[in-house]
Chains A and B, each alone.
With several copies, the nearest count.
Chain A
Amino acid sequence: MGGTPTDLKLIDERGLRIDGRRPDEMRPLRIEAGVLKRADGSAYVEWGQNKVMAAVYGPRECHPRHLQNPERALVQCNYNMASFSVEDRKRPGPDRRSHEISKIISEALTHVVFTEYFPRTSIDVYIEVLQANAGTRCAGLTAASVALADAGVPMKDLVAACAAGKVADTVVLDLGKEEDNSGQADIPLGYVPRTGEIVLLQMDGDLSPEEFDKGVRMAIDACRKVSEIQRDALKRRYSASSADVDAAQAVPEMPKEGP
């Protein structure tokens, strides 16, 4: 956690947070599936002030060859932040943080994909953060799951993700940027609703076991809601596709910025 001292009152006298949310309230989440033409599958996520695009290519031939697994597909995620996605311009190209996030998202997705159906192939997942405002790894994992489904990759279930955390000694859901900068703990979590499995889990800050217990359960509840929104996006995608004669024209457009 940034842990930067701050004058911000992160929880007000009514128990509301700096952006008016209740402790267990998620930021608004919108998902659109199938927004790109070139990729085999894609999804666009707006989650609070985060804007994240995910695309999937594959299963396809795995390069370099020595990475091929003769028994399974390799799920390779590449998480990248656009240089203009943050206030202080980020140097283009991967840094250590993005390497770590790519790794844990790859692992989380691998768990749900039926990789044994596609030996020797690679399923490549690209996550591009266009605008960042805390919580991009959860937004990215959430978008990537939908993009995989949009690409027709068979999965046990969609992975849904959401973070819980602690601000002003209160366990809260889905930290925003100010809360992330000045908060006390963050717990990003990826979840498989159908099986109740946790496939991504990190934590940093300072939490008692009780607070951790509360936060994890709060994040899991949120993941169930995220999962609903994921399913809605896919339903809209498929109904749009089947409603049109020419499916190619039926791809939903990327939602426009609100006023």
Chain B
Amino acid sequence: MGKDVVADLKRDYISKLLAKGARADGRRFDEMRPLKIETGFVRSAEGSARVELGNTQVVVGVKLVTGEPFPDTPNSGVLTTNAELIPMASDSFEGGPPDQESIEVARVIDRGIREGHAVDMSKLVIEPGKEVWIMFVDVHVLDYDGNLFDAANIGANAALKTCIVPAKRAGKGEDYQLPVQHQPISITAVKIDDKILIDPTHDEERVAEARLTVATLETGNLCAMQKGLNGAFKLDEVFKVVELSRKIGSEVRSRF
């Protein structure tokens, strides 16, 4: 019950600030937190990145192993995305098998990469229908202060961009750069008191009514979207988030 009281106090504090047009950390409503990207952090991975988005910190590692393609896509590599919301990162994360929250994060990251055709999967075929590269994108959350979706999405994009296909180790010719062709960048907004805030902190997420994540491409087109939380959006709010995501996504993409 103690927690709830704290939550109520935080909610009041956040609400009062929002009424004055302000956020607890001084950001504008449409402003992301400072973003640091460090690639090549994990040498045992074929591609990796450590991302700090404000106080949220994730490490994304990409591993490539050979295996069989799916029967219905013989001319395509395989993408598998996993997110580990380990209890190190927050006292709200529990150990054990992935729960609905980590599954949702993994599936939304996966959807961005897959539907945005970040990687040319046809170039990950060793022998059509027989052997392809299986690409494991693993998201490890170390420190959690909200907006995992974007931190992990940015980390995945950065890790893929620097990823080397370890063909030599597998006896499949020379190593080569992973054929990355697009950066599907996701931007997440929440709604609190009918206001739309970009890149929510953990405190903002806890009092938010609804959440919308939109992934966009260089073309300005949309490639993935996910609404979350128990609240709702009006149609004009959805369009507003879409526009913000295109604009800010383009700024983030320029970092690559």
Is there a direct interface between A and B, measured as CB atoms under 8 Å apart in the complex? yes
* Interface residues in chain A, defined as those with a beta carbon under 8 Å from any beta carbon in chain B: 1, 4, 36-39, 49, 51, 53, 55, 57, 60, 70, 78, 80, 82-89, 92-93, 96-97, 99-100, 102-104, 107, 110-111, 124, 126, 128, 130-133, 187, 192, 195-209, 212-213, 216-217, 220, 254, 256-257
**Is B207 in the interface zone, CB < 8 Å from A?**
no
Residues on the A chain within 8 Å of B142, using CB: 36, 53, 128
Smallest distance from the beta carbon of A6 to chain B beta carbons, Å? 11
Give the complex CA separation of A70 and B5 in angstroms. Answer: 13
Residues on the B chain within 8 Å of A80, using CB: 86
Provide a sorted-by-A list of 24 A–B residue pairs whose CB atoms are within 8 angstroms.
Answer: A36-B88, A36-B143, A37-B143, A38-B89, A38-B144, A39-B88, A51-B41, A55-B88, A70-B1, A70-B4, A82-B59, A84-B44, A99-B100, A102-B100, A126-B88, A130-B140, A132-B44, A197-B234, A198-B232, A199-B227, A201-B225, A204-B223, A209-B242, A257-B41
Beyond the given A85-B61, A209-B243, A256-B38, could you list 18 further A-B residue pairs with CB under 8 A, ordered by the A residue number? A38-B55, A38-B90, A38-B145, A53-B88, A82-B140, A84-B138, A85-B42, A97-B107, A99-B103, A104-B227, A104-B228, A130-B41, A187-B225, A200-B227, A205-B223, A207-B223, A209-B242, A257-B40
**Which residue of the partner chain, among B41, B55, B115, contacts A205 with CB atoms under 8 Å?**
B115
Residues on the A chain within 8 Å of B73, using CB: 4
Residues on the B chain within 8 Å of A257, using CB: 38, 40-41
Residues on the A chain within 8 Å of B238, using CB: 198, 201, 216
* B62-102 contact mask (Cβ, 8 Å, vs A): 1 or 0: 11010000001100000000101011111100010110110
Smallest distance from the beta carbon of A72 to chain B beta carbons, Å? 10
Give the complex CA separation of A103 and B230 in angstroms. Answer: 10
Residues on the B chain within 8 Å of A57, using CB: 87, 91
Give the complex CA separation of A208 and B223 in angstroms. Answer: 9
Smallest distance from the beta carbon of A45 to chain B beta carbons, Å? 14
**Which residue of the partner chain, among A4, A102, A204, contacts B111 with CB atoms under 8 Å?**
A204
Q: Secondary structure at chain A's binding surface: helix, strand, loop or mixed? A: mixed
Residues on the B chain within 8 Å of A86, using CB: 44
Q: Contacts A85-B44, A212-B242 given: A201-B65 contact, CB under 8 Å? A: no
Q: Secondary structure at chain B's binding surface: helix, strand, loop or mixed? A: mixed
**Is B21 in the interface zone, CB < 8 Å from A?**
no
Interface size counted on chain B using CB atoms at 8 A: 72
Give the complex CA separation of A256 and B37 in angstroms. Answer: 11
Residue contact B106 to A96, C-beta cutoff 8 Å? yes
Q: Which residue of A lies closest to B94 (CB)?
A: A63
Smallest distance from the beta carbon of A67 to chain B beta carbons, Å? 12
Smallest distance from the beta carbon of B120 to chain A beta carbons, Å? 13
Residues on the B chain within 8 Å of A93, using CB: 97
Smallest distance from the beta carbon of B82 to chain A beta carbons, Å? 6
Residue contact B234 to A103, C-beta cutoff 8 Å? no
**Which residue of the partner chain, among A49, A128, A207, contacts B88 with CB atoms under 8 Å?**
A128
The residue in A57, A84, A207 that gathers the most chain B C-beta atoms within 10 A of its C-beta is A84
Q: Which residue of A lies closest to B81 (CB)?
A: A96
**Is B244 in the interface zone, CB < 8 Å from A?**
no
Q: Contacts A38-B145, A212-B222 given: A204-B115 contact, CB under 8 Å? A: yes
Tell me the B133-186 residues at the A interface (CB within 8 Å). Answer: 136, 138, 140, 142-145, 169
Residue contact B227 to A201, C-beta cutoff 8 Å? yes
Smallest distance from the beta carbon of B141 to chain A beta carbons, Å? 10
Residues on the A chain within 8 Å of B95, using CB: 78
**Which residue of the partner chain, among A60, A84, A201, contacts B63 with CB atoms under 8 Å?**
A84
Residue contact B224 to A204, C-beta cutoff 8 Å? yes
Q: Contacts A39-B88, A111-B231 given: A213-B239 contact, CB under 8 Å? A: yes
Residues on the A chain within 8 Å of B140, using CB: 82, 84, 128, 130
